[in-house]
């Protein structure tokens, strides 16, 4: 999935990935409490939260603890948007209760996303579940 346009989390307007930070500085709808510099990460989380995983992510700790520390690149977007990878991350986070596990869970999810990218380049899969449950 190559995504060049991302939403502003304040005004919900779509902007090119390279222009989003510039828009966020001048956005009329921005709140004074939202001073994060991770514009792409927040935009990706917003996209995923409103998609098919929305209800799951509202209840999950992934959205608040893991997604904000993930880099805003294509690998993270694939990790955030694949249901199986998110379920794995939530399960791993629930099993391991230590505080520093956020970075570990993020890395594990990104590793699986890189595997999915490699499989997509060599085969015709679209979702990760297709690998585990072939036709």
Contact 8, 18 (CB under 8 A): no
Could you give the CA distance from residue 105 to residue 62 in angstroms, rounded to a whole number?
Answer: 9
pTM for this predicted structure: 0.69
Q: Report the Cα–Cα distance between both ends of the chain, in Å, rounded.
A: 23
Where does the pLDDT of residue 1 fall: very low under 50, low under 70, confident under 90, or very high at 90 and above?
very low
C-alpha dihedral, 16 to 20 to 48 to 51, nearest 10° = -60
Contact 19, 35 (CB under 8 A): no
Sign, CA torsion 108/75/129/6: positive
Sign, CA torsion 94/98/102/105: negative
Digit-coded pLDDT (tens) for 69-104? 888 888 888 888 888 898 898 888 888 877 778 889
Digit-coded pLDDT (tens) for 57-71? 666 777 778 888 888
Q: Report how far apart, in Å, the C-alpha atoms of 96 and of each of 60, 99, 131 are.
A: 15, 9, 26
DSSP designation for 107: H
* Ramachandran region, residue 121 (left: φ > 0; alpha: ψ -120 to 50; beta: rest): alpha
Sign, CA torsion 121/124/126/127: negative
């Amino acid at each position: 999935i190559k995504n060049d346009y991302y939403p502003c989390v304040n005004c919900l307007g779509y902007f090119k990935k390279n222009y989003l930070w510039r828009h966020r500085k001048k956005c009329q709808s921005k709140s004074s409490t939202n001073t994060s510099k991770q514009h792409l990460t927040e935009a990706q989380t917003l996209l995923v939260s409103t998609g098919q995983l929305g209800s799951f992510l509202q209840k999950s700790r992934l959205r608040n603890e893991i997604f904000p520390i993930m880099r805003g690149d294509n690998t993270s977007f694939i990790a955030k948007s694949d249901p199986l990878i998110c379920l794995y991350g939530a399960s791993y986070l629930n099993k391991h209760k230590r505080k520093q596990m956020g970075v570990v869970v993020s890395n594990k999810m990104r590793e699986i996303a890189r595997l999915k990218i490699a499989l997509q380049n060599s085969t015709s899969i679209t979702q990760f579940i297709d690998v585990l449950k072939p036709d």
